[in-house]
A and B are shown apart, each in its own frame.
Chain A
Amino acid sequence: MELYLYLALFSPLAGSLIAALFGARPKTLFTGVVTSALLGLSLVSSTILLFYILGGGAAVHVEMMTWMATGDLYIPFGFLVDQVSVTMMMVVTVVSTVVHVYSIGYMDHDKSFNRFFAWLSAFVFSMMVLVMSDNFAGLFIGWEGVGLCSWALIGFWYHKESAIWAANEAFIMNRIADLGMLIGLFLIYWNVGSLQYDRFFEAVVTLDQSVLVMIGIFLFIGAMGKSAQFPLHTWLADAMEGPTPVSALIHAATMVTAGVYLVVRANPLYEMIPEVGYFVASLGAFVAMFAASMALVNRDMKRIIAYSTLSQLGYMFVAAGLGAYWVALFHLMAHAFFKALLFLGAGNVMHAMSDELDPFKMGGLKKVMKGTWIMMTLASVALAGIWPLAGFFSKDLILEVAFVEHHYVLYTVLLLTAMLTAFYSFRLVALIFHGEERYKEYGSHPHEAYTFMLIAMSPLALLAVIAGFAFKGSYIDMVTAVLPATEYHVHSPVVFWIMVIGTQLLVGAAIAYAYKKYQNAKIDKAFEQRPCYKVLFNQYYIPHFYEEYISKPYRELSHVAWKQLDLRVVDATVDGIATLFYKTGEQTHTMQNGNLSTMLRWMVAGTVLLLALGVAFTVGISVVAG
């Protein structure tokens, strides 16, 4: 099994390195093909590992080599494939294989084709390191690696000012959160003396409650950055500047779920500190609602989907925070499939409309883009949580968890959010695919994407449909071997059916309303003047607030530090030292004039000096001794 582990882990790296060799050259198709094939290999290996674990095999744990060993510090490069990480591996490899193949078509005309695949595969490798590591240090390497690749891919079109800005914003936001994560890791090492998961989880029961709370909070701050939770959420919507396959892979299916993975992985810790867990859940519910509300009025197709991702991440944190780790992981998996599908569909639409993002300028596209229409509708139905698609099983479970655990406020918030989700999803579908063909006014000539791109998307469509009812049973059996196997059943069947059917009805009503309102929508000027619209459209003025009250003062402070501190103190000191050395050098360079006699004098002087010391010393000793 070790072989498959290494294959799964390292074939993306190999692909990335191969593509990187041709990074500066014009498009060569084979870089795309090779990286996709190597990811396929990784997918196959992960699948073999999955079946091995499903078949009751023990977790595969290897220690490839020692990374650091000094004194008490011992950090190996160790990898662990257990029920949790194999789930993540499957999600990562399935989505990234699809995205790679899809990108061959999507990036067809891009002159940096090769560079794109180098970074994309590097991302997958980092993500695999993140999920497969058996210790927090390895997780952190992957964590930073995905951050770096995300930065490079958001800013992939670096000639665009906005892309660079978004890339830097994402990177800096994550950096702030990573500081929290690092503090958490230091606390762990400080208190446990090891960063290995198993050592830490064994030690959890013996640690002081206050220490655990600190660790839990700081680790969660790291998770908040990666998973774009409030108040570090602004980067995710801006990250849509990157190519759409990147949005699908990194900013929907994999990297942003790393925070959820961290909480799930650290479940023994969060089990011990339910109050922190409750905070996580509350924040998750808030973000779910908050992000969904922003998606209601936005006029940028990709941003709407990004807000929806944010909202769904909120759902996952509710589940994880309430201790339903396997539920969180299940929703993570289902969400990865349908959200990536939705994004790739949006990518097709963008391609068709020459990078137009405003759905109000589209309409009626279902006639020309039948395949995309079907897939995006499927993904939206799954996202809305209609039976029997994947979203129903995973999202309804989260609602049940909130209900069973008697968190009725959370339940209500999530229920309302489910309606909002249905509404904005179908607002988008209605605006893009139905109604009259508004795009004609703008002179676009839409066309369907390459067939192979649609074929590449179809596995995701299939999974979005069947992931719920086909996999739920065996999935639960598998992960509950390592995660707390709490069952969430509403005891009274009447209440249960009322809940399920009620939810379905509400969601259905929201969908119908969205269709009705937006099928033939013209832009409603009066509505746009209302304050509530403005607040939502401007993302609650949070980016504005950050700009005015954080970025600007910080810039002023930096300016002062540069002028007053850096130039006057730091530079002056450094220059001073250098000048001092130079001046002394000029004064003393006669000592080094290359004259042999001078050299001999130096030798003699040195010998005499040493000798004098020796004599003084020995005489001194004998005087003391005598």
Chain B
Amino acid sequence: MIYELFLILPMMLIVLGALMLMLLSHREAPLNRNMLSVLILALAFGLTLSRLGEAHSVFVFEAIFGRSFIVDSFSTLFDLMILGGAMLTLLINHDYFKSRHYFDGDFFALVLFAVFGMMALSHAHELISAFISLEIASLSIYALVGYNSDNPKSREAMMKYVVLGSLAGALFMLGLALIYGATGSTELGAIAAHIAAHPQDAHTMLIIGGFFVMVTLFFKIGAVPFHAWVVDVYHGAPLPVTMLMASTFKIALFAVILRIYLGDFAALGDFWSLPLQILCVLTLIGGSFLALSQSNIKRMLAGSSVVHAGYMLIALNAITLGNFNASESILFYLMSYFISSVGAFGILSFLAAHEHKQLTFEDFKGFGYSHPYLAAMMSIFMLSLAGFPSTIGFLGKFYIFTGAIEAGQIALAALGIFVAFVSIFYYFRLIATMYFYDTPKTEQHFGFDTTTVLILLMAILSIWGGIGTALLPYLPTPDALIELSRHAITSLD
């Protein structure tokens, strides 16, 4: 009992913290509340960290909740990534919060509710709980997307996201009903048992239900053809929210996708493979088109995030074909993408806070001269996102492509590599814009504060992870990360 309480303590902390922030919402200055949220997240992070590495797998309060919530090594790792991601997102936007007036009210409470939803998602072992968790996270994010109500783009983005998201949610419910109809349960273990007990051809309804569930999840990660919202919503949302959606929320979504695919639907891998391959191809190519045609950096990053989702779908497809090792590559990729994209968004947020620009490619002309240090770091992030060797992004892609080749998906891996080449075009375009245009602007002073230090940290991590060494002996190396992921994945069985 006490042990189980201890296990869910981080989640409880987040909810209580969110409630407390709601009460404080009109008393404290936004920056103080930001720090308070970071503190709460850090506490939960520390608590979760203490469990890292020990193998465990417990259904919490089984007497009350049944087998709907599980705490295992897998969810622990994802909790850490979600909490760490949210923490970094809030911290790196410190300057941005300072520069905008609309972050009063319940902004930070909503962020914490979203984080709670994401954590619950990684713990869900039952489809209805998964749905509720997903909706907790989504509803908070809907509100966050439209938080800057003075900005018509922000309002429009929220509207679109709510409408499309509701459709996706409805499809999830429909799929859920079908699955329940076919198997008589919504608990993942029971579904797996049902699949194992019946012959392959008796699963038509279950598979169709599964497709509906998948549509929702693919919608949330922005896979083509469910991607239409991505660019507009990412662009319209306030920068911190965009960061949260692009990196942290995606991590939580892959938690539930991996849990469903690896743990329970694995036996039906044959059915998933072809549709997944089609989605992969569509996502990789469609995302590239999206990213290529943007003139705003934020929109370009939004478009390219679709492509990154495509890379992870390659690995997911390798999993459905039986190469379970590929799941580690997804985890590693999530981390590498997180590091580089948070860094890139961080620079955008820093600039938006200090120079009030639209952040188009035009605005970056001569950036290499006016901000030599930030430009160098931006180049690192672009290189890493493009998957240039000696950055963490390269290793992420390397693991994904080798996983795909091991699973026999050579054509898909080749397409992935081709798309990575295409991505060089739009990522390097920014680097070229920064350095190849002379402007009379004078060099701006580079000051150390929360935002710039964190950007620097991300830049160092990108390189450190790419060289493949632990320059600081107590930080885990990429190999250790892979080891950690493997450990987490095995706890699913």
Q: Which residues of A contact B (CB under 8 A)?
A: 65-69, 77, 577-578, 581-582, 584-585, 588-589, 591-592, 594, 596, 598-600, 602-603, 605-607, 609-611, 613-615, 617-619, 621-622, 625-626
Contact = CB atoms under 8 A, between A and B. Distances in A.
B204 A598 contact: no
Max chain A Cβ within 10 angstroms of own Cβ: one of B168, B289, B292, B479: B289
Interface stretch (B25-33, B121-129, B205-213, B316-324): B205-213
Interface string B217-233: 00100001111110110
13 contacts: A65-B469, A66-B470, A584-B289, A592-B231, A596-B163, A598-B228, A607-B171, A607-B212, A610-B215, A614-B275, A618-B207, A621-B200, A625-B199
A584 B225 CA distance: 17
Given A585-B289, A609-B278, 11 more contacts: A581-B288, A581-B289, A582-B292, A582-B293, A588-B289, A599-B160, A602-B228, A603-B225, A606-B225, A611-B212, A621-B200
B168 A625 contact: no
Max chain B Cβ within 10 angstroms of own Cβ: one of A577, A589, A603, A622: A603
B274 interface: yes
A603 B219 contact: yes
Given A581-B422, A592-B290, A607-B171, A602 B204 contact: no
A577 B160 CA distance: 33
A581 B214 CA distance: 29
Contacts of A585: 289, 292-293
A66 B160 contact: no
Nearest to A577: B422
Interface string B291-312: 0110000000000000000000
B225 A69 contact: no
B323 to A, nearest CB: 15
A621 B228 CA distance: 33
B201 A625 contact: yes
B289 A603 contact: no
A67 to B, nearest CB: 6
Contacts of B290: 592
A449 to B, nearest CB: 38
Contact of B226 (A68, A578, A594, A602): A602
B203 interface: yes
B273 to A, nearest CB: 10
B419 to A, nearest CB: 11
A598 B163 CA distance: 12
Contacts of B470: 65-66
Contacts of B210: 614
B160 A596 contact: yes
Nearest to A625: B201
A585 B294 CA distance: 10
Contacts of B274: 613, 617
B164 interface: yes
A77 B471 CA distance: 11
Report whether over half of chain A's contact residues are helix, strand or loop; otherwise say mixed. helix
Contacts of A605: 225
Contacts of B479: 66, 69
Given A68-B468, A581-B288, A581-B289, A618 B171 contact: no
Contacts of A67: 467-469
Given A68-B468, A599-B228, A611 B211 contact: yes
Contacts of B159: 596
A618 B278 CA distance: 17
Nearest to A621: B201
A484 B492 CA distance: 57
Given A600-B163, A603-B168, A626 B215 contact: no
Nearest to B471: A65
A613 to B, nearest CB: 5
Contacts of B58: none
Interface string B459-484: 00000000111100100010100000
Top 5 closest A-B pairs, CB basis?
A606-B225, A599-B228, A622-B201, A625-B201, A618-B204
Given A66-B469, A618-B201, A599 B164 contact: yes
A592 B228 contact: yes
A614 B289 contact: no
Interface string B150-163: 00000000011001
Contacts of B289: 581, 584-585, 588
B446 interface: no
A619 B229 contact: no
A615 to B, nearest CB: 7
Contact of B229 (A599, A606, A625): A599
Contacts of B214: 610
Given A621-B200, A625-B201, A614 B211 contact: yes
A4 B171 CA distance: 66
Contacts of A598: 228
B410 interface: no
A144 to B, nearest CB: 14
Given A607-B171, A613-B275, A594 B232 contact: yes
B275 A610 contact: yes
B211 A610 contact: yes
Nearest to A604: B167
B204 A622 contact: yes
Interface string B56-67: 000000000000
B468 A614 contact: no
A607 B164 contact: no
A606 B167 CA distance: 13
A563 to B, nearest CB: 24
Max chain B Cβ within 10 angstroms of own Cβ: one of A577, A591, A617: A617
A284 B78 CA distance: 62
Interface string B63-84: 0000000000000000000000
Contacts of B163: 596, 600
A599 B467 CA distance: 42
Max chain B Cβ within 10 angstroms of own Cβ: one of A598, A605, A613, A618: A618
B201 A617 contact: no
B483 to A, nearest CB: 11
B279 to A, nearest CB: 8
Nearest to A618: B204
Contacts of A610: 211, 214-215, 275, 279
Nearest to B288: A581
Nearest to A578: B425
B161 to A, nearest CB: 10
Contact of A603 (B164, B208, B425): B164
Contacts of A65: 469-470, 473, 477
A598 B231 CA distance: 14
A619 B229 CA distance: 33
A603 B228 contact: yes
A609 B271 contact: no
A603 B226 contact: yes
B199 to A, nearest CB: 7
B219 A77 contact: no
B392 to A, nearest CB: 14
A65 B292 CA distance: 41
Contact of B292 (A581, A611, A619, A626): A581
B45 to A, nearest CB: 26
Contacts of B211: 607, 610-611, 614
A66 to B, nearest CB: 7
Contacts of B203: 618
A39 to B, nearest CB: 22
Contacts of B167: 600, 603
Contacts of A618: 201, 203-204, 207-208, 271
